[in-house]
């Protein structure tokens, strides 16, 4: 993975000094809270319901085991012993003291990390495929380009106070695992007929109040022009994006207002001035960065059947077989596989990990995966380079620490924002809903029968839990001061991205498990061979689901987890 050179170190070091001084000025009241707010936001520090939350950047979701151990250290020393992995492949800590934040940044800098631009109205962490570099279906490794974008966007002087936040995602594989269609800029690395590498630029996708699938404005921008073309988009947006209403300030609203064609023309006009200018990437710079992402020193192995090859115990173990089926992904090198460690164990808020688990995962990374780890945007962790013959060992150890729930891609592998238990923006709690649903559908055989199903929960319209693109999406809404949940179906991420449709009036929290049950009943009754929930939902539309869900009064179940348990 990328290592800082002397300039990266210098910039981060000077940033800490600047931020430490800003905190000092806030504490001495030289800065008002209003003035301090955009400064701390640029550094990932939010005021939450109970305390400050610090979001730390994990660039494109890739981290070293030393970095993971630093998270464990931060969880112990400055927080309450755990952290929360986010849908932007970052980590956040929810119980932070303002006075200690400069010291946390200092600890992070020692392992080449920071919290720069993890919030605020600026360019955020560029996200990508969690299997970048190892996926069997990869065409181009997107990570060198993500790193180049990271450096270019860090403290960009002109784009530091945009109308709204700005998120970029890159995909380089056949299957889009980076949700590019719902990003401000979604990049697909492609090869043209001459074999040259470039990017397809999709702009103006997004979730939130106005969910929109992005529009392609250029099918092929040669890689040399990645930064200049992006700069052209940013300058158009900075000048013309709306600033009168924060809910209409994302680039998607601008693209929609002027039309994708006109927007593309505006970008081209801007780009004409920048094209071939000094920000044009050189092969030398690309190679300097790309060398850090070279393939690992893999052994020459033959592909094996892990079930058969891990001994008698493994072959007879149904739980191991389940885990292999759900949590182990194909690798492009024979004899290797990628392992997803589930952070979705029933009873634990999705994406949460304890300091002990972090240290443990770091140990696994050192022992089995070249000292590297990844965070997925579905809020799980990945060991990308595990020898197939070691899978049984890895499984046994992960299982002992509660990290081997064989539910990747299943109903209980939910995406959920922290919701009203923590977040001051939320209209409703998310975690207790996730917990109640997880408890109701804990039975793995039933989950296997249901098959692939993405259930996403957001506690408010900001859609941090990506509810619009969940096969089942749950959105917390506020009605007369109490918490209600609106349900949509038919949303999808990836190559066939779609925005879900709302099935009808919202539900109370205790009704939610039964609502999900009824949706599943309709699916099970109507599916034909091999159809997933999403296929049936898209084939039949919402009508039969709606009819069944609202046919009879919905009994309220018990909520498994209240706020107190996580407060």
Partner 1 sequence: MLNNHKQIIKGREVVDDDWSVLKLDEGQTPEAVEIPAGKIIVPLPVWLAQRESLAAREQVGIWFAPDELAHTVKDDLDKFSVVAVEFPKFTDGRGYSIAYNLRKRLGYTGELRAIGDVLRDQLFQMYRCGFDAYATREDRNIHDALKGLTVFSETYQASVDDPLPLFRRQARGALPEHSDVGAGI
Among 58, 115, 117, 160, indicate the residue that binds partner 1 (CB under 8 A): 160
Whether residue 366 contacts residue 383, with contact meaning beta carbons closer than 8 Å, is answered with no
Count of other CB atoms within 10 angstroms of residue 97:
13
Among 28, 29, 157, 300, indicate the residue that binds partner 1 (CB under 8 A): 157
The pair of structure tokens assigned to 86 is 């986010």
Count of other CB atoms within 10 angstroms of residue 259:
11
> Is residue 27 near partner 1 by the rule CB under 8 A?
no
Among 95, 155, 293, 298, indicate the residue that binds partner 1 (CB under 8 A): 155
Among 56, 162, 185, 221, indicate the residue that binds partner 1 (CB under 8 A): 162
Residue written as token pair 């780009």: 271
DSSP 8-state assignment for residue 10: H
Give the interface size with partner 1 as a residue count (CB under 8 A).
51
Among 20, 200, 399, 548, indicate the residue that binds partner 1 (CB under 8 A): 20
Q: Which is nearer to partner 1, 112 or 378 (CB)?
A: 112
* Alpha-carbon gap, residue 131 to 318, rounded angstroms: 26
Distance set, CA 164 to CA 70, 180, 233, 249 (Å)? 31, 18, 14, 6
Which residues, 183 to 242, sit near partner 1 by CB under 8 A?
227, 235, 238-239
E strand residue ranges, 24-81: 45-47, 52-56, 62-64
Whether residue 238 contacts residue 230, with contact meaning beta carbons closer than 8 Å, is answered with no
The angle formed by the CA atoms of residues 407, 412 and 415, to the nearest 5 degrees, is 110
CB 122 → partner 1: shortest distance, Å? 9
DSSP 8-state assignment for residue 189: E
H/E stretch holding 336: strand 336-341
Among 99, 158, 305, 521, indicate the residue that binds partner 1 (CB under 8 A): 158
> Is residue 265 near partner 1 by the rule CB under 8 A?
no
> Is residue 48 near partner 1 by the rule CB under 8 A?
no
Q: Crossing angle of helices 6-27/33-41, nearest 10°?
A: 160
> Is residue 262 near partner 1 by the rule CB under 8 A?
no
Q: Which is nearer to partner 1, 41 or 436 (CB)?
A: 41
> Is residue 395 near partner 1 by the rule CB under 8 A?
no
> Is residue 7 near partner 1 by the rule CB under 8 A?
yes
> Is residue 14 near partner 1 by the rule CB under 8 A?
yes
Among 49, 73, 80, 156, indicate the residue that binds partner 1 (CB under 8 A): 156
CB 562 → partner 1: shortest distance, Å? 37
The pair of structure tokens assigned to 198 is 């470039």
**CA quadruple 349, 351, 352, 358: dihedral positive or negative?**
positive
Q: Which is nearer to partner 1, 120 or 500 (CB)?
A: 120
E strand residue ranges, 365-522: 372-375, 381-387, 415-416, 455-458, 472-479, 482-489, 501-502, 507-508
CB 439 → partner 1: shortest distance, Å? 43
User: Coil, helix or strand for 267?
Assistant: helix
Q: Which is nearer to partner 1, 107 or 563 (CB)?
A: 107
Which residues, 267 to 296, sit near partner 1 by CB under 8 A?
273, 277-279, 282, 284-285, 288
Q: Which is nearer to partner 1, 38 or 557 (CB)?
A: 38
Count of other CB atoms within 10 angstroms of residue 195:
6
Q: For partner 1, which stretch binds (CB under 8 A), given 79-87, 150-158, 253-261, 365-373?
A: 150-158
CB 115 → partner 1: shortest distance, Å? 14
Q: Which positions lie near partner 1, rule CB under 8 A?
A: 3-7, 9-18, 20, 22, 35, 38-39, 102, 106-107, 109-110, 112, 121, 151-152, 154-162, 227, 235, 238-239, 243, 273, 277-279, 282, 284-285, 288
């Amino acid at each position: 993975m990328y290592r800082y050179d002397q300039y990266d170190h210098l910039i981060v070091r000077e940033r800490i000094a600047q931020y430490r001084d800003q905190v000092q000025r806030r504490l001495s009241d030289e800065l008002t809270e209003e003035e301090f707010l955009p400064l701390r936001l640029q550094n990932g520090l939010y005021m939450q319901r109970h305390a400050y939350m610090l979001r730390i950047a994990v660039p494109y979701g890739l981290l070293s085991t030393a970095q993971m151990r630093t998270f464990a250290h931060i969880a112990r020393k400055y927080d309450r012993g755990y952290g929360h992995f986010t849908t932007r492949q970052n980590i956040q800590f929810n119980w932070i003291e303002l006075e200690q934040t400069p010291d946390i940044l200092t600890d992070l800098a020692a392992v080449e990390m920071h919290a720069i631009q993890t919030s605020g109205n600026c360019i955020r962490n560029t996200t990508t495929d969690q299997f970048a570099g190892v996926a069997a279906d990869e065409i181009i490794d997107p990570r060198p380009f993500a790193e180049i974008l990271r450096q270019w966007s860090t403290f960009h002087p002109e784009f530091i106070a945009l109308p709204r936040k700005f998120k970029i995602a890159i995909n380089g594989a056949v299957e889009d695992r980076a949700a590019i269609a719902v990003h401000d800029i979604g990049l697909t690395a492609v090869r043209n007929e001459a074999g040259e590498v470039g990017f397809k630029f999709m702009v103006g996708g997004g979730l939130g109040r106005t969910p929109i699938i992005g529009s392609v404005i250029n099918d092929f921008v040669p890689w040399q022009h990645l930064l200049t073309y992006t700069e052209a988009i940013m300058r158009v947006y900075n000048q013309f994006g709306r600033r009168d209403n924060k809910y209409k300030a994302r680039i998607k609203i601008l693209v929609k207002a002027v039309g994708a064609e006109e927007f593309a023309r505006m970008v081209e006009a801007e780009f004409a001035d920048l094209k071939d200018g000094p920000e044009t990437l050189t092969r030398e710079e690309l190679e300097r960065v790309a060398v850090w992402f070279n393939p690992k020193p893999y052994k020459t192995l033959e592909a094996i059947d892990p079930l058969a090859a891990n001994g008698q115990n493994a072959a007879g173990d149904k739980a191991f077989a389940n885990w292999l089926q759900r949590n182990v992904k194909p690798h492009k090198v024979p004899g290797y596989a990628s392992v997803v460690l589930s952070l979705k164990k029933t009873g634990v808020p999705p994406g949460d990990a304890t300091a002990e688990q972090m240290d443990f995962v770091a140990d696994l990374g050192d022992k089995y995966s070249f000292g590297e780890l990844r965070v997925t945007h579905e809020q799980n962790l990945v060991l990308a380079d595990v020898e197939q013959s070691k899978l049984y060992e890895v499984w046994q150890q992960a299982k002992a620490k509660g990290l081997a729930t064989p539910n990747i891609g299943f109903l209980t592998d939910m995406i959920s924002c922290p919701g009203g238990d923590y977040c001051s923006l939320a209209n409703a709690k998310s975690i207790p809903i996730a917990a109640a649903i997880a408890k109701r559908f804990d039975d793995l055989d039933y989950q296997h029968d249901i098959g692939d199903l993405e259930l996403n929960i957001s506690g408010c319209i900001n859609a941090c839990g990506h509810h619009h693109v969940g096969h089942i999406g749950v959105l917390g809404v506020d009605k007369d001061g109490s918490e209600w949940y609106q349900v949509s179906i038919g949303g999808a991420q990836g190559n066939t991205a779609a925005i879900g449709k709302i099935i009808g009036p919202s539900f109370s929290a205790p009704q939610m498990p039964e609502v999900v049950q009824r949706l599943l009943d309709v699916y099970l009754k109507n599916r034909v061979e091999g159809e997933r929930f999403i296929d049936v939902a898209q084939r039949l539309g919402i009508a039969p689901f709606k009819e069944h869900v609202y046919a009879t009064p919905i009994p309220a179940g018990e909520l498994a987890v209240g706020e107190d348990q996580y407060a």
